[in-house]
Chains A and B, each alone.
Chain A
Amino acid sequence: MATVTMPQLGETVVEGTITKWLKQEGDTVAQDEPLFEISTDKVDTEVPSPVAGTLVRIAVQEGQTVSVGTELATIDAGDGAAESAAQPEVAAPATSSSEQAPPAGATPPAQAPAAPAASAPATAAPAASAPADGGERSAILSPLVRRLAEEHDVDLSKVTGTGTGGRITKADVMAFVESGGGAQTPAAGPSAPAGAPAASEAQSPPAVGAPAASASPAAPAAPPAAATPPAAQTPERPPTAHLPEAGGAPAAPPTPTLAGAQAPAPQTPAPQTATPQTAAPQTAAPQTGSQPATLAEDEELVPLTRMRQVIAQHMVGSVQTSARAWTLVEVNMENVVRLREMAKDSFGEREGVPLTYMPFIASAVDDALLAFPYVNAELRGDQLVLRKHVNLGIAVALEDGLIVPVVVGTDSMNIAGLARAINDVATRARNRQLKPDEVHGSTFTITNPGPFGSIMSVPIINQPNAAILAFDTIEKRPVVVGDAIAIRHMVYLSMSWDHRIIDGSTAAQFLARVKENLETWDFAPEVGLPAGS
């Protein structure tokens, strides 16, 4: 279900009058097909439908004047049978998630594998086979099916799917429950509850997608942990002090910490909550458990935080999932830098948020994403989800990791709106005040490692996005202008992109569009300056 709201047709426009519905309740409407007309002052504006589907409800009748943001209509973007037959959700995850109460239901496909995977510690063998299988299928589970499975403690890896392509439907789950499958499966018993907390913890840490650069502080911690065994066999450094606990003990503490108190791990050798993605790198875990005693005196064992575990899962998962390629352009930021310098003080006073470069980049990117929808797409199975809107994921560095809150509908925001929205989610991300659904549903991600002085980064794609853009430090560089060498503010915009979805020509054209936007757009009126200033 998609909700259609009164669009904002200008900074000073606060309301609009519905002059005409071009579709009636029950009519089907194609995406971008004119849906209704609104009147503001001397302008009649034809508004296209944001999605394809069936117009199921008109909430505001012709002739009524309502304020911007008022809900006008509901469009069923599914096939109408979605709810009763539990068809796999094809509709936008962002929208459907808001209707599903349990946080677990709100997790997008990419996150889904985490739930079945949580059962891995219970038994070693299923861990290898079940997640791979169940993970793939759960990636196309509808929120309804996931919720049912949770309510009935059903291990979905044991349910036979009868839907299209073997997908598990509501009927499959109910049949499984009626046959006595629910809540009884020995291994699944503990696993399902374990999965639930994992999903609900999504609130704070599920930092999806991360720039390689900003994951720096703690990232090296993971490899050394796994690399401990070799080091242990060459005890050139005698273990002495510096360890928080007596020599041999540290093996145990990490185990309960990692496995979590809610699901006492029946077996010690599998301390990590292994997921399909992380299974490979963490095969060294048992060894870590048996040999940490031989830490050198200047080495230290630090348990991986929950956030780092999630980041690790997502990063490895992304690299294993996508065919990552990388493209770089250099952009002349003279225009933007000059405008920002002129406007930042008054802007800050007026808007109450600092004027950073992020809104300019975001605005230029939004336009390019709409022009190149495949860069804004998502691969689901063997189908692509194309969109006519942009939800930007903004990577926010935290002290102990990073998180990617999502700003919904950035393509309808101007610079001031972007500045406010981005500042809002970034601030709340740092204060751990994000709501669970605010870290899901991005269609593209931007990361800015620039503040730390880097000039170029190769980020890892934030799944299930098709690409991620990094912009680093804007600095003065000598450039050739005409036949002379001049000093200009320049920046490198680099993009990691999924070669399964787009090719180099698209990536290059997309970046060229972003570059052209930044170099030629007149942002002046949007930052409170006269046009052309």
Chain B
Amino acid sequence: MGLRAGGRPPRGKLNAVRPDGSPAAAAALIRPQGLVPYAQANEEMHALAARRLAGEIPDTLILLEHPPVYTAGRRWKPEHLRWARDQMEAAGAELHLVDRGGSVTFHGPGQLVGYPILDLGIRPDVLAYVRALEGVVIRACEDAGVGGLGRNPVNSGVWAGDRKVCAIGVRVMRMRVTLHGFALNCTTDLSWYDAIVPCGLTDEGVTSLSQLAGREITTGEMAPLVAARFAEQFGLDLRPEVPATVPA
């Protein structure tokens, strides 16, 4: 199912119809290099969302990678964790309880994480927003030569058959501005997922773009593709911002 008609996606701007020919809404792309600790990114993301809510900054997309970390959304259950917390920490990964939708997931090197800070407007259609994010990732993966990805009728995210390649979990601040986002496995070491039941789904597995394509598809290759499709989907003029806001 696509971004169905009648659903209410965040309103894109139609640059074509502006009488003065001015471009689409300006937006910022923040792309810190290296691995950004989860707590730092989480804090920064909330600060940016608050500023977006106040109208101080434009729509923003953060694309980054985390060091190994497990995060559990509001819908997590104990049985979704196969390892105890000490076990995770011994392996070098923290566990964070976070304020997004969805259950437990993993972030780590080789995974492109996207945190869109978007103003959905006064009447957000949050499901359409999730569908839109899925569409962005699906098209970006096609651009990289990985076709055949799709949605799952029951569970959000982007799937290759019964294996998930991209997880999605979102929070909407004050019923208006988005937080958290998507996590696309590019060259992720999938053994990290042994510690959890990803998204609380016992029967499905996870995969990565590199595994699917049979060649190495890095986060560096995917980031510009995702950014381009993201800008297209939301009608944004996405310009890189000096990575000062989220120091690497």
Contacts and interface: CB of A to CB of B under 8 A. Distances in A.
A304 to B, nearest CB: 42
Contacts of A411: 122-123
21 contacts: A9-B125, A11-B125, A32-B174, A39-B101, A40-B126, A41-B130, A42-B170, A43-B172, A44-B101, A44-B171, A45-B175, A46-B172, A47-B174, A367-B122, A482-B21, A520-B18, A521-B13, A522-B13, A522-B235, A525-B6, A531-B12
Nearest to A482: B21
Interface in A211-247: none
A40 B169 CA distance: 11
Interface string A5-23: 0010111110000011000
Contact of B127 (A13, A19, A44, A531): A13
B123 A412 contact: yes
Nearest to B157: A42
- Summarize A's interface: helix, strand, loop or mixed: mixed
A529 interface: yes
Given A9-B172, A41-B101, A522-B14, 8 more contacts: A44-B99, A46-B172, A48-B174, A367-B122, A414-B125, A416-B6, A519-B19, A520-B17
A527 B5 CA distance: 7
B127 A9 contact: yes
Interface string B1-43: 0011111110111110111010000000000000000000000
Contacts of B130: 41-43
Interface string A515-533: 0000111100111111110
Contact of B8 (A48, A414, A479, A520): A414
A367 B119 CA distance: 13
B206 to A, nearest CB: 16
B121 interface: yes
B19 to A, nearest CB: 5
Interface in B129-152: 129-130
B8 A46 contact: no
Interface of B: 3-9, 11-15, 17-19, 21, 73-75, 99-102, 121-130, 156-157, 168-175, 235
A32 B174 CA distance: 8
A431 B75 CA distance: 50
A530 B126 CA distance: 18
Contact of B126 (A45, A414, A531): A45
Contacts, number: 140
Contacts of A37: 74
Q: Report the contact-size class of chain A (Cβ under 8 Å from the partner).
A: 35 or more
A42 B101 contact: yes
Interface string A379-400: 0000000000000000000000
Given A416-B6, A525-B6, A40 B127 contact: yes
B228 to A, nearest CB: 15
A532 B236 CA distance: 13
Contacts of B9: 525, 531
A521 B17 CA distance: 9
Contacts of B175: 7, 9, 45-48
A42 B112 CA distance: 19
A335 interface: yes
Contacts of A482: 21
A525 B127 contact: no
A264 to B, nearest CB: 53
A126 interface: no
A34 B99 CA distance: 14
